[in-house]
């Protein structure tokens, strides 16, 4: 059994280390969370900030990248299959498959949520439930 003279043991040697800042001398870790949907568009990073903001308002960066990725996937698989052995093409194809799997999972989750919402509407608002049920059935 270990014995410690520290009155704060077994929690920590310094009970304040998580609440008080420590001086940085180059060896500490810097963590910066990044929200991928916040972009700063200004004259420093764009020749036409207003135009870029208008484009992104209409077609987000994610949508643009998704469409380019889908086009590249089509070009590689239908017209340049010989390039699929290249490491960069293979890495792209692996990434594309992962993205597609994430999209499929997201779609399935949204359908499950839709089913829950419809069940709640059936109890709370039967008329709206009947209207939306017909709408959903029309797409099946």
| Share above pLDDT 70 across residues of the chain, in percent, rounded to a whole number | 72
- Note the pTM of the prediction, 2 decimals: 0.54
Cα dihedral 105, 106, 111, 115, rounded to 10, equals 100
Residue 140: predicted pLDDT: 84
Question: How far is Cα 50 from Cα 48, in angstroms, rounded to an integer?
Answer: 6
Q: Over 60: is that where the pLDDT of 24 sits?
A: no
Is the confidence at residue 1, as pLDDT, over 50? no
34 or 54, higher pLDDT:
54
Query: Where exactly are the structural domains of the chain?
Result: 36-79, 86-140
pLDDT at 21 over 80: no
Q: Six-digit token pair at 36?
A: 């991928």
Q: What is the tens place of the pLDDT at every residue in 46-104?
A: 888 889 889 988 998 889 999 999 999 999 999 998 988 889 999 999 999 999 999 99
CA angle 53, 59, 62 (to 5 degrees): 105
Position 8 pLDDT exceeds 60: no
pLDDT bucket at 22, cuts 50 / 70 / 90: low
Compute the mean pLDDT over every residue in the chain, rounded to the nearest whole number: 81
Q: Helix, strand, coil shares of the chain as percentages rounded to 5?
A: 60, 0, 40
């Amino acid at each position: 059994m270990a014995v410690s003279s520290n009155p704060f043991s077994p929690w920590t040697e310094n009970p304040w280390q998580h609440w008080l800042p420590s001086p940085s001398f180059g060896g500490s870790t810097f963590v910066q969370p990044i929200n991928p949907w916040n972009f700063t568009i200004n004259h420093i990073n764009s020749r036409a900030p207003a135009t870029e903001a208008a484009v992104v308002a209409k077609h987000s960066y994610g949508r643009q990248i998704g469409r380019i990725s889908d086009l590249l996937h089509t070009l590689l698989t239908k017209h340049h299959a010989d390039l699929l052995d290249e490491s960069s093409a293979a890495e792209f194809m692996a990434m594309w498959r992962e993205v597609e799997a994430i999209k499929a999972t997201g779609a399935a989750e949204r359908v499950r949520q839709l089913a829950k919402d419809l069940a709640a509407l059936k109890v709370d608002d039967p008329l709206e439930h009947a209207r939306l049920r017909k709408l959903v059935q029309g797409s099946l």
